[in-house]
Structure 1
Amino acid sequence: MKRPLVLAAGFVASLILVGGLILLVGVGRVGEALVRADPWWLAAVAGFALAQIAIWGQTLRTVLGTLGVAVTRRAGALLYAAAAFSNNVTPLGQAGGEPVTALVVSRTARVRYETSLAAVASVDALNVVTSLTLVAVGVGYYGVSISVRADAIGNDVLFVAIVALAVLSLLAWRFRGAMVRSVTRIIARFVTALGRVVPPVPTLDPDQVRERLDGFLADVERVAGDRSRLAAALAFSLAGWLAHVAALWAALSAVGYTVDPATLLVVVPVANAAGFTPLPGGFGSIEAAFVALLATMTAVPAADATAAVLVHRAGVYWLPIVVGGAVTGALGADTAASGAE
């Protein structure tokens, strides 16, 4: 099946999932909540969503600066808008969009593909770190200040998951050399085996694969080694997540509910983790996760929570697709024009 057909099939599956969710909670009640939504709060959702793109664009700009690639603030925001587009239309979210985004950054900023991939991967890794920080703060706040409808076991599971992910990340970094060697062998064997079935696929030399991966890893280490820029990138990443949280808070306010922001510090990162599915950008699975968490952790009825989530996702999912798609097209045209000169 050709790639456009695969993407189309993914969006159809996502629409079916979202449609089923709306049917489950009540079409009429969701519609009523959307009709009464405050337009000023709707505008605020869009504003926070655009702010997130601009802020995370500075995260990408800071990381590229660490790797010796200078881009303007405007270029950083535009490049991240293109990244958001790739992530939102590709299965597996950031994991699926990273290679495409890296290609756009490589061609636009005129840097090695390995360098641009290292920058994009580093930004996504920083966003994971800061999202876990938000979850930890939110869970900690619950533990010492308030009681929630979710039981204590749920909070314990979240805490254990955070610790486990942190430990796995540290182990992966500690044994990164061995991991590179293992990945090298796996890639080389896979491509060689594929070449026996599909003759046009060339046989890969493991040494060449290792050289590419070593270059990628060296760039990642450069990002981790620059303490001041790493701190700045983390600050931008955290600010971007807070803009995302603010967008959900505004969406809930639009349908008439005020929710404790501490709750949303947990809801937003955990729900977005559902983006690692075969669906494009997690469309459908993320909506379902948001509604389930809001219905469990807040007093918002499921139908109103669904309406708020649809408004929120219109800002943080569909708006970046429109803006990022336009930016990607413009960057592609500029790159083609530059190559023709």
Structure 2
Amino acid sequence: MARENLRATVLGFLGAFAVFAVLFYFAGVDELVGTLERADPRYIALVVAATIGWLAAWSVALRTVLGVLGVDLSFAKSFFVFTGAMFSNNITPFGQAGGEPVTAYLITRTADAEYETSLAAIASVDTLNFVPSITIALMGAIYYATEVTLGTNQDIALAVVAVAVLAVTVPSVGYLAWQRRYRLEARAVSSLTPRIQWVAERVPRVSAPTRDGIEKRIEGFFRAIERIAANPRGLALALGMSAFGWFFQMLGLWLSFRAIGVSIPLSIALFVVPIGAIAGVTPLPGGAGGIESVLVILLLAAPLPQVTNSVAVAAVVVFRGAVYWIPILIGGTVMAWVSAHSKGTPR
């Protein structure tokens, strides 16, 4: 299984490199390099600061959710744990969906928590982070609806329709899933138990868990989700910090344009950043290549005559260079340290 995961990751990065090659060719390599060489280091530093602000805000959201579950974690530890989570997401195909199990293991080792509690915490944070993004993107869509003739621009119109559909579909699906959570729990137990036992029987030095043990852990996961949902104060604080983190990301894109000498309205970033993040569900590691492409398409579709192909790609390279690589550098160090000091297996 480890070999299959490694193969998927390698193929994902090869796919991302191919997407970047097309994107750079589209922008014009020489013109792109020239634009990046003129970037103001002071604004680059501010982009880095905005990235750290985003990581700090979302780490507070994680700390809040863990606190609701009775897991005490300092701000410093929650920051490093969250950067480790982003490292896992950025090197794993399908973003959060692929990195959550690794992140849960990291939380378990750092916070001395049960694995199912850690998994419920990071799954809840990822879900909560999605809610403000749709709200903010809708605000941006309203801006475009008042300032731009949507019917004349197919890319923008499709993006607005996609956001509107998500704004209706996601809460509806979430509500139905919550109403049927006990039925879903029973199905999860019956479906996952034989698969987990099959895997455990084939992994060296790992004893196959009993059906009762697996059922207890799955039930623990669902009970943890219920505890989070039943704490409105904790939910409100986590959602607020999530929205704050999104603002830092949008500020980072706006500063990236200022770094290369171009000014755009902050409301443009309000719209394109959350929509670009949706591309993180692609099978590319951390959405690398997919997110950049969507951002460039939306920026070029916006009424910004000063934003040429090379300018759009250069600004996105600066922005995503910080948002993607800073968590990898910090989080990779955290993961290496935890791996070196870990003993045993998750409880």
TM-score (norm 1): 0.90
Aligned to 1:100: 102
Cα root mean square deviation, aligned: 2.5
Q: Of 254, 273, 282, which aligns to 2:278?
A: 273
Q: Of 298, 302, 306, which aligns to 2:313?
A: 306
Deviates more, 1:207-216 or 1:19-28: 207-216
Aligned to 2:167: 162
Deviations 1:157-186 (A, max 9, x none): 421232122211211122112122222222
Q: Of 279, 282, 287, which aligns to 1:282?
A: 287
Aligned to 1:172: 177
Structure 1 residue 323, shift from structure 2 partner: 1.0
* Correspondences of 1:254-265 after superposition (within 5 Å): 254-265=259-270
TM-score (norm 2): 0.89
Q: Take 2:190 and 2:71, find their aligned partners in 1: how far apart are those partners?
A: 31
Q: Take 2:53 and 2:183, find their aligned partners in 1: how far apart are those partners?
A: 40
Structure 1 position 48 matched with structure 2 position 38: no
Structure 1 position 229 matched with structure 2 position 234: yes
Aligned to 2:70: 68
Aligned to 2:333: 326
Aligned to 2:61: 59
Q: Which amino acid aligns with 1:325?
A: G
Q: Take 2:217 and 2:7, find their aligned partners in 1: how far apart are those partners?
A: 32
Aligned to 1:16: 18
CA change 1:278–1:202 in 2 (3 A) is farther
Q: Which amino acid aligns with 2:176?
A: L
CA change 1:110–1:2 in 2 (3 A) is same
Judge conservation of contact 1:92–1:280 (CA < 8 Å) in 2: yes
Q: Which amino acid aligns with 1:110?
A: D
Q: Take 2:42 and 2:200, find their aligned partners in 1: how far apart are those partners?
A: 57
Structure 1 residue 36, shift from structure 2 partner: 1.2
Deviations 1:312-333 (A, max 9, x none): 1110001110111112222333
Judge conservation of contact 1:259–1:298 (CA < 8 Å) in 2: no
Other structure's SS at 1:310 match: helix
Q: Take 2:277 and 2:8, find their aligned partners in 1: how far apart are those partners?
A: 22
Q: Take 1:171 and 1:182, find their aligned partners in 2: how far apart are those partners?
A: 15
Structure 1 residue 55, shift from structure 2 partner: 1.3
Structure 1 residue 84, shift from structure 2 partner: 1.0
> Gaps (5+ residues) in structure 1?
none
CA change 1:46–1:29 in 2 (3 A) is same
Q: Take 1:27 and 1:199, find their aligned partners in 2: how far apart are those partners?
A: 48
Judge conservation of contact 2:134–2:166 (CA < 8 Å) in 1: no
Percent identity of equivalent pairs: 36
Aligned to 1:143: 145
- How many residue pairs end up in the alignment? 337
Q: Take 1:270 and 1:303, find their aligned partners in 2: how far apart are those partners?
A: 21
Structure 1 residue 123, shift from structure 2 partner: 0.6
Aligned to 1:90: 92
Aligned to 1:316: 323
